[in-house]
C-alpha cells in the first residue's frame, strides 16, 4: 500500500482538542518543525471562534521554538512533560495567575515507560521528523530520538515530517530499541558503549502514517565562547580527573563521560581535550554537543553514544559532510536507553551536570529559582547522578553579578540529594564529598567552591548551631534567599541576630 501524503495544515487538522500528542526529538534536535506551528495556528483559530483547543504534550526533552514556543504562545497546551527550555513555555508554566500548563518534571529515562504503563493517558497522535520513510512503514529519525519508538507504536496516527535537508544517509546512525515492561523486562544487552541492540528505524503500520514533506534547517544556535569562569570550571574538572587517575580511582583506560547540556558542559569537555594527562575516552550521554564532535575529529573521543546531536548549525553541516567518518564512531538511542540508570551504573559513567545552587551539605537545586520559578527541569541529571560512578555538579560560584551565591545554607528546592552528589566544582575549586560527614562536607564546599565574598557568611551560618548530625538551623537557613528577595543581594544576609 502507498503512504498518505498531506500538507502540514491537513496534518494539523488530524489533531483534536484534548488529544495527547507525542513529539520526536531531544533538545531542538530531531524535532518536527512545521506541523506543530500549524497545530498552534489551528488552536488560535479555534480560540477565536470561542472553542477550546488544548493538547497534552509528551517530548523527549526540550524542543525547538517551533514546538514549545509556538504552542505556548497559542495557549494550546494542557499539560507537558518533561524538560523544557523555551522562554515562552517557561513563562506559561510559571504563570499561575492565568491558565497554567500542568507541567511535570520527570526523569527523562522514565517518560517512555510511564506512557506505556498508562500513567499519563494514551498517545493520540505522534508527530515525528524523519530523513526516510518507506512504503512498509520504516521511519528513520533525524538528529534526535527521544521517545520516538514508543509514541510511534502507541499513537493512532503518526505524522512524519520528511525533511529533505537531512541526508537519508543518516540511516544506520540510530539504534532503536524499546524496553519490555515489568514483569517481563529482560536485561539490556549493552555492556560496552558501542554495543547495538536494536533497529536502524522505527517500524509502524503504514496505514496510520501521514507524510508531510519539509525542507527545514536544524534549529541549533551556537555556543557561547568559553569565558574565564567556564574555562576555570572546565580546568578544575579536568585536573580532578587527572588526580583521580593518579590515585587509581579511575581506571587508566578511563570511563565513559556524560555531560549535560549548555555552555558549561561544552566548556568542560573542551578543557578535557586540552589536558594531556587525560587519555582518549568514550561518551555515554544524552546530548552530543559541538565539543564532542571536535574531540572525535581530533581523536580525543573514541566513541559517543547519545540521544541527540545537539549541534550548532555549523557543526551539523560538518557532521553531514563527514557522515561516513562519524557513522562508525557514534550511535543515537532512545532516551530510555541513553539515560538508563541501570546502564549508567553498569558502564561506570561519570556524570557531569549543572546546578543552579548547592547547599553546604551537598544537596542540589537544578530547577527552581528562589524556590518557586521553574527554570528548565531536571532533564537527565537525575538519571545519571543517582547511578554515576562519580556524580559531579558544576556551577559558577555566583549568579546575577555576584548578588546570588550558588552556595547557600539550604537549597530552596531539592532535585539531587546529598546521598547522590559526590563532587561539586566551581571556578574556585573542587569539593570532594565522598566519604565525608556533614561538617567536613560543609567545610569542603565553603572553602573550595563558594565565592570568597560569601565564605564568612556561610561560616557564620555553620557556626550558628553546631547541633546534631546536620548543623541546620531552621530559623535561619533561608536568610540568603530572604536577603536577595528583600534587598537584591544575598550579601546582606546577617546571622548575628540569631546568636544568643
The footprint of ligand 0RQ (CB under 6 A) covers 27, 61, 83, 108, 260-264, 286-287, 353-354, 356-357, 366, 369, 375-376, 378-381, 396, 399-400, 404, 406
For residue 447, indicate whether it is catalytic: no
Nearer to ligand 0RQ, 19 or 68 (CB): 68
Query: Torsion over CA of 200, 203, 207 and 213, rounded to 10 degrees?
Result: -30
Q: Are 423 and 375 in contact (CB under 8 A)?
A: no
CB closer to ligand 0RQ out of 33 and 451: 451
Catalytic pick among 216, 286, 427, 444: 286
Question: Which of residues 15 and 238 has its CB atom nearest to ligand 0RQ in the complex?
Answer: 238
CB of 60: closest distance to ligand 0RQ in angstroms?
9
Rounded Cα distance, 361 and 470, in Å: 8
- Residue of this chain nearest to ligand 0RQ (CB atom): 379
Count of alpha carbons within 13 Å of 215, Cβ hemisphere only?
Answer: 0
CA atoms of 219 and 65, how far apart (whole Å): 8
| Of 21 and 111, CB closest to ligand 0RQ | 111
380 appears as a binding residue in the annotation: yes
Alpha helical stretches, state H, 58-196: 70-73, 87-94, 111-117, 148-154
Residue 22 or 379: the one with the smaller Cβ distance to ligand 0RQ is 379
Contact 64, 33 (CB under 8 A): yes
- Is 60 known to sit in a ligand binding site? no
Cβ closest to ligand 0RQ, residue 214 vs residue 405: 405
* Distance in Å, CB of 448 to ligand 0RQ, minimum: 18
Rg (CA), the chain: 23
CB of 39 to ligand 0RQ, least distance (A): 23
33 labelled ligand-binding:
no
Tell me the closest approach of the beta carbon of residue 336 to ligand 0RQ, in angstroms: 13
Going across the sheet that includes 330-332, the strands are: 330-332, 301-306, 281-284, 257-259, 350-354, 390-394, 423-426, 429-432
Smallest gap from residue 233 Cβ to ligand 0RQ (A): 10
Rounded Cα gap, residues 205 and 208, in angstroms: 6
The length of the chain in residues reads 500
CA distance 18 to 54: 6
Q: How far apart are CA 446 and CA 40, in angstroms?
A: 48
Q: Report the nearest approach of ligand 0RQ to the CB of residue 415 (Å).
A: 7
How far CA 252 is from CA of 249, 255, 279, 304, 305, in Å, comes to 9, 9, 8, 19, 21
Maximum C-alpha span of the chain: 83
What are the residues whose beta carbons fall under 8 Å from the beta carbon of 103, sequence distance 6 or more? Answer: 79, 80, 81, 84, 93, 374
- Torsion, Cα of 319, 216, 266, 192 (10° steps): -60
- By beta-carbon proximity to ligand 0RQ, the closer residue of 261 and 360 is 261
Which segments are annotated as binding site? Answer: 376, 380, 400
As annotated, the active-site residues are 286
Residues at the binding site for CoA are: 376, 380, 400
Amino acid at each position: 500500500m502507498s503512504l498518505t501524503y498531506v500538507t502540514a495544515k491537513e496534518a494539523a487538522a488530524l489533531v483534536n482538542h484534548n488529544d495527547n500528542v507525542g513529539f520526536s526529538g531531544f533538545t531542538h534536535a530531531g524535532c518536527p518543525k512545521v506541523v506543530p506551528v500549524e497545530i498552534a495556528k489551528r488552536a488560535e483559530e479555534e480560540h477565536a471562534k470561542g472553542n477550546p483547543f488544548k493538547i497534552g504534550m509528551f517530548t523527549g526533552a526540550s524542543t525547538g521554538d517551533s514546538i514549545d514556543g509556538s504552542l505556548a504562545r497559542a495557549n494550546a497546551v494542557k499539560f507537558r512533560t518533561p524538560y523544557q527550555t523555551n522562554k515562552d513555555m517557561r513563562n506559561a508554566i510559571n504563570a499561575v495567575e492565568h491558565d497554567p500548563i500542568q507541567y511535570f518534571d520527570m526523569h527523562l529515562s522514565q517518560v517512555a515507560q510511564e506512557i506505556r504503563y498508562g500513567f499519563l493517558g494514551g498517545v493520540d497522535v505522534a508527530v515525528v521528523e524523519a530523513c526516510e520513510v518507506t512504503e512498509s512503514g520504516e521511519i528513520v529519525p533525524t538528529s534526535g530520538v527521544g521517545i520516538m519508538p514508543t509514541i510511534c507504536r502507541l499513537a493512532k496516527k503518526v505524522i512524519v515530517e520528511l525533511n529533505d535537508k537531512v541526508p537519508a544517509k543518516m540511516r544506520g546512525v540510530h539504534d532503536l530499541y524499546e524496553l519490555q515492561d515489568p514483569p517481563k523486562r529482560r536485561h539490556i544487552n549493552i555492556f560496552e558503549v558501542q554495543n547495538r541492540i536494536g533497529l536502524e528505524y522505527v517500524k509502524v503500520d503504514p496505514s496510520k502514517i501521514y507524510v508531510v514533506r519539509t525542507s527545514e534547517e536544524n534549529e541549533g544556535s551556537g555556543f557561547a565562547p568559553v569565558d574565564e569562569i567556564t574555562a576555570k570550571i572546565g580546568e578544575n574538572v579536568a585536573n580532578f580527573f587527572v588526580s583521580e587517575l593518579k590515585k587509581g580511582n579511575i581506571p587508566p583506560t578511563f570511563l565513559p563521560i556524560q555531560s549535560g547540556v549548555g555552555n558549561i558542559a561544552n566548556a568542560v569537555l573542551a578543557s578535557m581535550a586540552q589536558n594531556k594527562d587525560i587519555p582518549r575516552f568514550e561518551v555515554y550521554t544524552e546530548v552530543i554537543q559541538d565539543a564532542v564532535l571536535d574531540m572525535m575529529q581530533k581523536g580525543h573521543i573514541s566513541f559517543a553514544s547519545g540521544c541527540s546531536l545537539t549541534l550548532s548549525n555549523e557543526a551539523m553541516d560538518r557532521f553531514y559532510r563527514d557522515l561516513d567518518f562519524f557513522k562508525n564512531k557514534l550511535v543515537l538511542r532512545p532516551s530510555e536507553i541513553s539515560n538508563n540508570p541501570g546502564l549508567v551504573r553498569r558502564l561506570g559513567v561519570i556524570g557531569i551536570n549543572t546546578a543552579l545552587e548547592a547547599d553546604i551539605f551537598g544537596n542540589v537545586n537544578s530547577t527552581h529559582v528562589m524556590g518557586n520559578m521553574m527554570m528548565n527541569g531536571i532533564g537527565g541529571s537525575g538519571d545519571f547522578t543517582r547511578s554515576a560512578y562519580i556524580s559531579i555538579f558544576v556551577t559558577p560560584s555566583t549568579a546575577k553579578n555576584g548578588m546570588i551565591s550558588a552556595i547557600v545554607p539550604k537549597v530552596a528546592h531539592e532535585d539531587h540529594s546529598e546521598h547522590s552528589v559526590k563532587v561539586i566544582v566551581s571556578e574556585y575549586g573542587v569539593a570532594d564529598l565522598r566519604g565525608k560527614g556533614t561538617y567536613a562536607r560543609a567545610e569542603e564546599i565553603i572553602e573550595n567552591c563558594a565565592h570568597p565574598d560569601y565564605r564568612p557568611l556561610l561560616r557564620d551560618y555553620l557556626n550558628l548551631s553546631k547541633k546534631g548530625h546536620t548543623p541546620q538551623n531552621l530559623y535561619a537557613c533561608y536568610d540568603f534567599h530572604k536577603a536577595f528577595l528583600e534587598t537584591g543581594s544575598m550579601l546582606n544576609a546577617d546571622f548575628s541576630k540569631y546568636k544568643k
